[in-house]
Structure 1
């Protein structure tokens, strides 16, 4: 597992490996794609808004995955720029990592990203000259202090209406830098040069900078585990908990805030005691076979999460010979209790049946007696005329005909991959579909999404997929749109 470290603490070998991986991505053209992804996003969708933190968490995580791929080292992590100890004389600006400040014209002439070795691109992807820096010359001569970081770390809630640069009190807005001591924004301005425009990822320090931003959010989440992401609903589209947030002029695509809230689930680890990761919460797949579990120690409690795609009746239950006690929390809040049950199921098993709205729910399971241990299984099933059953997609099978019949409806499909390979998932028809691919072995994380990659307004995902259980969710591009479609999966 990759551990993200303070850039100033990296060994010579770690610095060389990181630099070589960045340069390799640049040579492949992949690095410039990240520059364009940031540059071409809608400013108000990824800055000055609640999605600022989750969008950039996913952005730097995606680059980290590419660095691991090109280096062949799955433990390679992006180092973070520790602002209080990262001023111009810090070792991270030495020639073996980032290189230093720009010259009198602002041109960087030292280090691996110096003029002649590194060319930035503009928002169209065209070469735009050398990397530029002007430390402390853009009106903010000093970087954030530890005291200022500590001050922001005390702010709650995560965000408030009107969900923009005037939101107050707002942890997100203070960390981003529109109110309070100005943390994130100050880093960009202090470096200056290529770090000022929306093409700021041209400077590799961008990713170290946002790694520090993410570390602060990560630490804040550990400090305030009961503070949830806001808004859950009711905010601008692309900012709500389950909205796709990769917003570009062509539409909203990609992962949602809820997909990146748990750092541990992404495998993100920061050095230092305060940043030890939270354990990942196991996922229960609605409609699948019950998940096997056990209470191994007296007094132990297990926590699970599952996603409800749309309003309807559902049953949460345990099976086995243990006397279980179940508590349901949600939606989208592991501390908001909905219901609890002791012996509502068969024998001594727990069971809760009720109507649930769309969202993420949590089940906490313990044994009725705090002195006992035992095995059990836990599952969730839909009841009655549920509009969103899980349908199996057969690889190279016939197309499945379906329809989005109501506003905000989505259809969920299960895809069992037994052999690694390149697979294509696509829709056909006249409906403007949007598809997301989730997995492996979970219907929560989004690993790919697409709007109009197929013919006309149809969606299409083509990618290399390893063996495992995956899920495909289909919705209309418009939240109020409806219409028929067909879906099929093929393997090359």
Structure 2
């Protein structure tokens, strides 16, 4: 469990531990890799957009794991820069932690990251001179106050169209600083110089700064447990709940917003955050009368669970006057998306009909409009009429066999295939056709662990994955690159 503390409350020993770990990563070249990961990401894919908060949560989480590795302390957490008490005279700027402001030319000349001891890099990874700071010299002389933080903490929903700097009301946009009192952006500008460009992680205070940003999001999530991440679907690619985030490598956790929503599950703890016990997820009983519910606050998302006893066809549906949007996850994992739907039910209600394996499934329901409220009912029924034809199994790809012809026929649809590997070797799974496909590979012997994913490595806009695979059963998910796209394709697996 990483314990993240106010940087101004650390002991001298904790100062030394943190600085020593940062310097060790710099010596290994790992620290500069983090600088380049941020610098070479697409600006509009990680800033000024919904993924701003989850992208940076994953980013600082990864650095934290590296700090724990080199320090040998599995509880070492990145300290957070508590802006209201973190001005130029705060202890975090002392010589044994971050060092202080730059001189008249901006060069930092004291502390462990001073000139001669710490060299920053440019976006190509080449040396770019000393670390530089100019506290309060860029038109923003003060840091955010607690009153301003509290003001932002009261904002809902998480985000809304147009999913950019014009989104309003938007908690994300207020935290980032494009509207409202300006929290995140102000911190970068206040430090200045090295903290201004996309290479801003060159300054170790970057990670303390974003730790504070993440702390605010973490506490907002606790305050508003039904205010889910938005957009769940239908936003720009890379911004939706289950989209892979830009320039985020594979690691111990996933690279999608949904993979980092729960700080507690990631093993992160803040020193002064009171964790409220979470109510149990409501259970829907298959075949029972519909469960009554409502979206009482704009942007709210309701979560339900249900148990599937055996493989077969099932329908999950809503009824009522509200225009609902439904996303299904599972089995036994609330982060693996199975399907989603907007209007397949009566009127503007959602409906998903799928063959489901035995296990626990999770259902997220919101209203199509992020500014709407309203009531609805939700139910799950079995469509198995008893004795009769066996439900259609997952289509099987045969190694070096014929291609399977298929199509993405509805927005947000995804197709699933399975194949068996008998002999360890390199195998290629690829699509062909006029459709811009996105493919992910899962296994072995489970649909949950993701091994690889790809967009355009194949011909034209087709997906292609070539991997060394051990014996076992594997699963492939295929969807359109665009959440609203449709079109035909073929899929095939070959050895080699």
What TM-score do the two structures reach when normalised by structure 1?
Answer: 0.70
> Which residue of structure 2 aligns with residue 101 of structure 1?
101
Which residue of structure 1 lines up, in the alignment, with residue 43 of structure 2?
A: 43
Q: Which residue of 2 is the match for residue 180 of structure 1?
A: 180
Equivalent residue number for residue 227 of structure 1: 227
Q: Distance in 1 between matches of 2:18 and 2:473?
A: 33
User: What SS does the corresponding residue of 1:112 show, helix, strand or coil?
Assistant: coil
Identify if the C-alpha distance between structure 1 residues 87 and 489 changes in structure 2 by more than 3 Å, giving closer, same or farther: farther
User: For 2:264, what is the secondary structure of its paired residue?
Assistant: helix
Match of 1:313 in 2: 353
Match of 2:134 in 1: 134
Q: Aligned to 2:211, what secondary structure does the other structure show?
A: helix
Q: Which position in structure 2 is the counterpart of 1:63?
A: 63
Shift of 1:17: 2.4
Corresponding residue SS for 1:159: coil
Aligned residue number for residue 352 of structure 1:
381
Distance 1:27 1:280 in 2: 46
Cα deviation per residue 1:200-259 (whole Å; 9 max; x = unaligned)? 1111111111111011011011101111222223322222222223169xxxxx722222
Pairing 1:441-480 to 2, within 5 Å after superposition: 449-451=453-455, 459-460=464-465, 473-475=477-479, 477=481, 480=486
- 1:34 paired with 2:40, answer no
| Alignment check: 8 A CA contact 2:37 2:247 kept | no
Task: Return the alpha-carbon distance in structure 1 between the equivalents of residues 92 and 230 of structure 2.
Answer: 35
Are the counterparts in 2 of residues 135 and 190 from structure 1 also a CA contact under 8 Å? yes
Residue of structure 1 equivalent to 2:323: none
Give the aligned partner of residue 408 of structure 2.
406
For 1:338-372, what per-residue CA distance to the aligned partner results, in whole angstroms no more than 9, with x for missing partners? 535xxxxxxxxxx73379xxxxxxxxxxxxxxxxx
SS at match of 1:33: helix
SS of 2:274's partner is: helix
Q: What's the counterpart of residue 257 of structure 1? A: 257
Contact 1:310 1:410 in 2 (8 A): no
State which of 470, 477, 489 in structure 2 corresponds to 1:483. 489
**Is the CA contact 1:330–1:337 (under 8 Å) kept in the aligned structure 2?**
no
Contact 1:121–1:129, Cα closer than 8 Å, also in 2? yes
Deviates more, 1:193-202 or 1:235-244: 235-244
Which string of whole-angstrom CA distances, capped at 9 and with x for unpartnered residues, describes residues 392-450 of structure 1? 99xxx98997666326554557899xxxxx99886357678655467999967868655
* Displacement after TM superposition at 1:265 (Å): 2.6
TM-superposition CA deviations, 1:45-81 (whole Å, max 9, x none): 2111111111111111122222223333332221111
Whether the aligned pair in 2 keeps the contact of 1:427 and 1:433 (CA below 8 Å) is: no
Structure 1 gap ranges (5+): 249-253, 290-302, 320-325, 341-350, 356-382, 417-421
- Relative to 1, partners in 2 of residues 1:433 and 1:37: Cα closer, same or farther, differing over 3 Å? farther
State whether residues 259 and 444 of structure 1, in contact with CA within 8 Å, keep that contact through their aligned partners in structure 2.
Answer: no
Q: Count the aligned residue pairs.
A: 418
Summarize the Cα distance change of 1:438–1:8 in structure 2 as closer, same or farther, 3 Å threshold: farther
**Unaligned regions of 5+ residues in structure 2, if any?**
249-253, 282-303, 312-331, 342-351, 368-373, 385-389
Matched residue, 1:13: 13
The residue number in structure 1 matching 2:364 is 330
Mapping of 1:34-433 within 5 angstroms? 34-246=34-246, 255-275=255-275, 305=334, 307-309=337-339, 313-314=353-354, 329-331=363-365, 339-340=378-379, 352-353=381-382, 384-385=391-392, 389=394, 405-406=407-408, 409-412=413-416, 427=429
Distance change >3 Å, CA 2–CA 327, structure 1 → 2 = closer
Residues 112 and 257 (structure 1), Cα distance of their counterparts in 2 relative to 1, 3 Å cut: same
Aligned to 2:429, the other structure's residue is in SS state strand
Write the distance in 1 (CA, Å) between the matches of 2:397 and 2:366: 27
| 1:448–1:406 Cα change, 3 Å | closer
CA RMSD for the aligned pairs? 4.5
User: Is residue 244–residue 255 contact of structure 1 (8 Å, CA) maintained in 2?
Assistant: yes
Deviation at 1:487, TM superposition (A): 5.1
- Rounded Cα–Cα distance in structure 2 between residues aligned with 1:280 and 1:463: 41
Please say which of residues 198-207 and 73-82 is displaced more in the overlay.
73-82
Q: Greater shift after overlay, 10-19 or 195-204?
A: 10-19
Q: In 1, Cα distance between the equivalents of 2:425 and 2:10?
A: 39
Cα deviations by residue, 1:24-56 (Å, 9 ceiling, x for unpaired): 222222222221221122222211111111111
What secondary structure does 1:264 align onto? coil
Higher mean displacement: 397-406 or 143-152: 397-406
Structure 1 residues 124 and 183, CA gap change in structure 2 (3 angstroms) = same
Name the CA distance, whole Å, in 1 between partners of 2:146 and 2:74. 31
